Amino acid sequence: MPIYTPPLRDMQFVMHEVLKVTDEYQAMPRHADVDVDTINAIIEEGGKFASEVIFPLNISGDEEGCSLDRETHEVSTPKGFRQAYAKYVEGGWAALSCDPEFGGQGLPFAVNQCVYEMLNSANQAWTMYPGLSHGAYEAMHAHGTDEQKKLYLPKLVSGEWTGTMCLTEPHCGTDLGLLRTRAEPQADGSYKLTGNKIFISAGEHDLTENIVHLVLARLPDAPQGSKGISLFAVPKFNVGKDGSIGSRNGIYCGGLEHKMGIHGNATAQIVLDGAVGSLVGQPNKGLAAMFVMMNAARLGVGNQSLGLTEVAFQNALAYAKDRIQMRSLSGVKAKDQPADPIIVHPDVRKMLLTAKAYAEGGRALAIFCTLLLDKELHHPDEKVRKDSAELVALLTPIVKAFITDNGHIATNACMQVFGGHGYIAEWGMEQFVRDNRINMIYEGTNTIQSLDLLGRKVLGNNGATLKKFGKLVAQLVEEEGVNEKMAEFINPVAVLGEQMTKFTTELGFKGFQNADEVGAAAVDYLRVAGHLVFGYFWARMAQVALREIAAAESEKRPVDPFYQAKLQTARFYFAKLFPETAMLMRTARSGAKVLMDTQEALA
């Protein structure tokens, strides 16, 4: 059976020693009272909930899946899911970072990030039920009317109700401009919606008494394409003005998708048959309103793969220490055993360290992004808010695509450590691979994220935002450029930072002449950018580790093995993973011709 231990020490390291989040919060009146002890206590309790309540349901939930009663259109979740959700609500976890005006606890997003990473490690399928609700809360909080906020937000904040995002349709995919769902205005100011939606995560379930669907649809006079999309709040049960639950609305589950993974989450086909809804935001501006939820979801999807990378690593490491197979190439290591533990073999260590490096690098990036979100929303300095918003917009596609791609690499590597046993369901490793695979696809495939990064976030403003991140890199290089002990970490980042300017300019010029050049290079470009970002954070983590080791040695006290492990992992990352950037820049520069001039090859 799989194991899971919440990585509290590493979370505390990133928050308190690398990013110093409480120092940042001192400048934000809303979070000025948040201290280290408070953060640590919350994530410790969150880790207990994840490991003790929902982790034991992961394999059983995968095996049982969800079931649909086609007569009533009701969905039953796997055994134990409903009881676990009740404990989640009772513990106040849904309200962690929500607005106190609507019953939230008002804690920083960085705290919420850590709790959700652990929930995703423990049980991604279960975690998607409350996870989608948080996105619905964000969209409604930003764009809802006062009446909508009063009706829906307290229930979403408490977790008494859940929310969904109903975007795509069978013929759409990511191209939402093609959607056909209609919204007809009614005399009382409401709308009646008719259409079909697919791939709706947590679209129907038995965890709560009501579900608030945020639905994209077209008004009768809407222009074609994405400029003619509006957003509507459509509850499963109609809600009275006093907040009471009324009659069943005309929105229901017509079927459940049969999927590769996340079997414990109800991925629903949603039918709208004259469903009553209310307009959220302005007519024909629904996509802008929904992007609040979509961007939150993209960060959340990266967090899902981060969680799976961590739990897969923990299990592979434990197995590699215990499993004996062959002898070490450099001589017998376990003299009392007929063979050595497989952890002595170099390539097994490479697979383990790959997962560890991607987990710890992803954690640093994810927490940094949520700190940026806290600053964007709550910092009193307008320039800080603006800079933070631009940086998080730049980093969002990297979080979504780079971390999920890395999750695919890592979970597969960890399954490989188990050999044939990894392919067998009882060990749980193949489930981590299957569950992670969807993360590379939904909320905009990773190719879409790559096009967004290169085409919009970088070339769209002539690299201005990329240069802002470059300033962070330059500042670190200036701090540590003459420190010989930091050279192995700083030099690769400094070199790549300089190369990125030329690389980006070159792709921009080619794209100006032929837009397909951007499409051909975008995926490679995102991975290069991802390594630049990871390299920056690994260098910062090495910086802290070296400082702490030096302090211990000067004070003649034992060195904490945690810092030694961090340095060893940093060295592995820069030696074995970071050099991928050279190959990626070469393939990106190979151009679009070998892809587009292929009529015969793809005939």
Give per-residue pLDDT as tens, 142-186: 999 999 999 999 999 999 999 999 999 998 887 888 899 999 999
How high is the pLDDT of residue 111? 97
- Chain mean position to CA 518: 25
Same-domain pairing of 429 and 511: no
Query: Cβ atoms within 10 A of the Cβ of 474, count?
Result: 15
DSSP letters of 80-144?
THHHHHHHHHHTTGGGTTS-GGGT-----HHHHHHHHHHHHHHHHHHHHHHHHHHHHHHHHHHH-
The amino acid at 596:
M
Which of 346, 360, 370 shows the shortest CA–CA distance to 563?
A: 360
Q: Which residues contact 46 (CB under 8 A, 6 or more apart)?
A: 6, 93, 114, 115, 118, 119
Q: Which residues contact 59 (CB under 8 A, 6 or more apart)?
A: 1, 2, 425, 428, 431
Q: Which residues contact 17 (CB under 8 A, 6 or more apart)?
A: 544, 548
Q: Are 270 and 166 in contact (CB under 8 A)?
A: yes
Same-domain pairing of 589 and 532: yes
How high is the pLDDT of residue 176? 81
- Chain mean position to CA 6: 17
Same-domain pairing of 426 and 553: no
Angle between helices 109-143 and 346-378 (to 10 degrees): 50
Q: Which residues contact 162 (CB under 8 A, 6 or more apart)?
A: 129, 130, 132, 133, 136, 156, 202, 205, 207, 208, 211, 212
Pair of tokens at residue 375:
């600053």
pLDDT (tens digit per residue) in 305-343: 999 999 999 999 999 999 999 999 999 999 999 999 999
Distances (CA, A) of 532 to 48, 64, 307, 571, 578: 34, 42, 22, 15, 8
Domain for residue 259, yes or no?
no
Same-domain pairing of 405 and 510: no
φ and ψ at residue 474, rounded to 5 degrees: -60, -35
How high is the pLDDT of residue 19? 98
pTM of the model: 0.97
How high is the pLDDT of residue 289? 80
Domain for residue 411, yes or no?
yes
CA distance 288 to 143: 10
User: Which helix H or strand E contains 248, and what residues bound it?
Assistant: strand 245-248
Same-domain pairing of 295 and 407: yes
Which of 113, 85, 94 shows the shortest CA–CA distance to 14?
A: 113
Domain for residue 471, yes or no?
yes
Handedness of CA 396, 439, 456, 231 (dihedral sign): negative
Pair of tokens at residue 9:
């020490």
How high is the pLDDT of residue 75? 98
Count CA atoms within 13 Å of residue 76 on its CB side.
9
Same-domain pairing of 489 and 551: yes
CA distance 465 to 458: 7
CA distance 403 to 393: 16
Q: 67-69 and 74-76: which strand pairing? A: antiparallel
Q: Which residues contact 529 (CB under 8 A, 6 or more apart)?
A: 398, 402, 453, 458, 466, 500
The amino acid at 279:
L
Q: What is the CATH number of the domain that holds 408?
A: 1.20.140.10
Q: Are 65 and 263 in contact (CB under 8 A)?
A: yes
Same-domain pairing of 313 and 385: yes
Same-domain pairing of 422 and 388: yes
Q: Which residues contact 19 (CB under 8 A, 6 or more apart)?
A: 364, 367, 368, 371
3-state class (DSSP) for residue 76: strand
How high is the pLDDT of residue 302? 97
Q: Which residues contact 184 (CB under 8 A, 6 or more apart)?
A: 191, 192, 193, 194, 220
CA distance 462 to 130: 38
3-state class (DSSP) for residue 268: strand
Query: Cβ atoms within 10 A of the Cβ of 602, count?
Result: 6
Q: Are 457 and 465 in contact (CB under 8 A)?
A: yes
Domain for residue 419, yes or no?
yes
Same-domain pairing of 395 and 482: no
Domain for residue 586, yes or no?
yes
Domain for residue 271, yes or no?
no
How high is the pLDDT of residue 74? 97
Q: Are 390 and 468 in contact (CB under 8 A)?
A: yes
If one counts the domains in the chain, the total is: 2
Q: Where does a domain end: 391, 412, 439?
A: 439
CA distance 299 to 369: 8
Q: Are 238 and 254 in contact (CB under 8 A)?
A: no
Q: Where does a domain end: 404, 439, 474?
A: 439
Domain for residue 26, yes or no?
no
DSSP letters of 171-239?
TTTT-GGG---EEEE-TTS-EEEEEEEEEEET-S-SSSS-EEEEEEEB-TTPPSGGGG-EEEEEESEEE
Pair of tokens at residue 489:
């970490």
Measured CA angle at 109 (ends 106, 110), to 5 deg: 130
Active site positions, annotated? 443
3-state class (DSSP) for residue 350: helix
Q: Are 355 and 121 in contact (CB under 8 A)?
A: no
Residues of the chain with pLDDT under 50: none
Instruction: Identify the domain containing residue 539 by its residue range.
Output: 455-596
How high is the pLDDT of residue 290? 76
Same-domain pairing of 567 and 476: yes
Same-domain pairing of 422 and 470: no
Count CA atoms within 13 Å of residue 129 on its CB side.
30
CA distance 213 to 239: 13
Domain for residue 37, yes or no?
no
Same-domain pairing of 426 and 520: no
3-state class (DSSP) for residue 247: strand
